[in-house]
Structure 1
Amino acid sequence: MKPWILLGAAGIPGSTGELRLYQRDAEHAIRILGVSGDLMNSRLHGSEDALGELACVRLAGRPAPRLLIGGLGMGFTLAAALKGLASDAEVIVAELIPAVVEWNRGPLGIHAGHPLQDPRVTVREEDVAGIIQREANAFDAILLDVDNGPEGLTREENNWLYSNAGLSACFRALRPEGILAVWSAGPKPVFTERLRQQGFAVEEQQVRAHRGRKGARHNIWLARRGA
């Protein structure tokens, strides 16, 4: 088997950690320096696809929906969301690490079909938490694929998003009947209860990392703000 080739590296703001982009033949992986395994892999994105698909199904029929996606990753959630949205939609992607945006405009773009080129998309190179705190009653859906889900891995500051304060801010940032969709590496019952405490009606689904029946099971919460 061919060895992995290092294509790029980027520091993680607010952390001593470092993201690294690797390539092996047509496959790409993003890893955290010093942490075993892939943070993301271009072959295993079934649950990222599902995050975008499941959220947008619940927006069917809404005129000019406005979405906020926290965490660009390899672009799979964005691409899946765009497929489920009409031409009048607006999608804002918040990505804290500029290199991740650069990688998606470069070697990673082919995997998800270059979704950053879609005219409905605007990229903001900032922490999604700041947008959520600033904009009230602004989004029909907020999709969070930040860190490893409610259990942070890359930076401690990400934990705020999944706290009571962060979820309350998400509730305020959503429009009536808006959807908060959250990706996680695994289930976390305390987080489900936390969503309900903040006033969300909660669905929970487990999806495979790989399309079909392969790969690890990941968790997606679909939390609806009431009218």
Structure 2
Amino acid sequence: MLPWIEIDRAQIPGGGGELRLKQRGQEFSIMLGANELMNSRLSGSEEALATLTHEKISERKKPKILIGGLGMGFTLRSALSVFPEDAHIIVAELVPQVVEWARGPMAEIFKGCLDDPRVEIKIGDVAAVIAATNAGLDAILLDVDNGPDGLTRASNERLYDHAGLTATLKALRPGGVVAVWSSGPDGAFTRRLTQSGFEAQALNVRASTKRSGARHVIWIARKRS
């Protein structure tokens, strides 16, 4: 078996630790310490984040979507495949090197999707983008951590507490949707979504596109009109 080769490292702003990009043949992995945050072989649940969101707002004209976290681009590519040509998709990525990796060593995975005219890349904290938006988004897709527990940065938890969900609610248009990716279930988060003014459901989805193996959780929560 081919050995893993470390390609690059990147510091997470705010003292969140160090990301490591690794490659083995055609396979890529992004690590934080001993934790694998993402792997190029496992894209099913990240793709579902976009497709499940689209199902909820498919009737909207010129939808404006915010994706929190670029990662390996699976959610973005899936969004580009289902949303119309007049969509505006903003991707907020905290770590600038992740965007560099997308245009460099992982360019084959991204397949030029960053150059799609519908895409706008913002380097910075997605929480700040949300806070600066007032009822201007049709959907917010969050894949910035391992879920509501804030593995990579403790400050990520502010996205998922009552104050963060209130800001998300304010950023969405009536009937807009927030979708949240997680490596596992969290009943307390489901309750916070409901208490914050959303109609929420937690869905189990496969990590792999082969419909086998581990399951992840996606919350789909609609803003009550």
Normalised by the length of structure 2, the TM-score is 0.97
Task: Check whether the contact 1:15–1:154 (CA below 8 A) recurs between aligned residues.
Answer: no
Instruction: Give the distance between the partners of 1:193 and 1:16, measured in 2 at CA.
Output: 27
Calculate percent identity across the aligned residue pairs.
54
Deviation string, structure 1 residues 107-147 (Cα, Å, up to 9, x no partner): 22322433211110000000000011111101000000011
Amino acid across the alignment from 2:31: R
Describe how 1:128-207 pairs up with structure 2 within 5 A: 128-207=126-205
Q: 2:55 aligns with which of 54, 57, 63?
A: 57
Instruction: Give the distance between the partners of 2:112 and 2:54, measured in 1 at CA.
Output: 19
Query: What's 1:35 paired with?
Result: 34
Query: What's 2:21 paired with?
Result: 21
Q: Which consecutive residues of structure 1, in runs of 5 or more, have no partner in the other structure?
A: none
Amino acid across the alignment from 1:25: G
Query: What's 1:4 paired with?
Result: 4
Task: Check whether the contact 2:90–2:120 (CA below 8 A) recurs between aligned residues.
Answer: yes
Describe how 1:67-146 pairs up with structure 2 within 5 A: 67-146=65-144
Q: What SS is found at the alignment partner of 1:3?
A: coil
Amino acid across the alignment from 2:21: L
Q: What SS is found at the alignment partner of 2:57?
A: coil
Runs ≥4 residues deviating over 3 A: none
Instruction: Give the distance between the partners of 1:202 and 1:48, measured in 2 at CA.
Output: 18
Q: Which consecutive residues of structure 2, in runs of 5 or more, have no partner in the other structure?
A: none
Instruction: Give the distance between the partners of 1:64 and 1:213, measured in 2 at CA.
Output: 32
Task: Check whether the contact 1:143–1:182 (CA below 8 A) recurs between aligned residues.
Answer: yes
Deviation at 1:16, TM superposition (A): 5.2
Instruction: Give the distance between the partners of 1:26 and 1:219, measured in 2 at CA.
Output: 27
Task: Check whether the contact 1:109–1:115 (CA below 8 A) recurs between aligned residues.
Answer: no
Task: Check whether the contact 2:102–2:110 (CA below 8 A) recurs between aligned residues.
Answer: no
Instruction: Give the distance between the partners of 2:211 and 2:74, measured in 1 at CA.
Output: 18
When the two structures are aligned, how many residues end up with a matched partner?
225
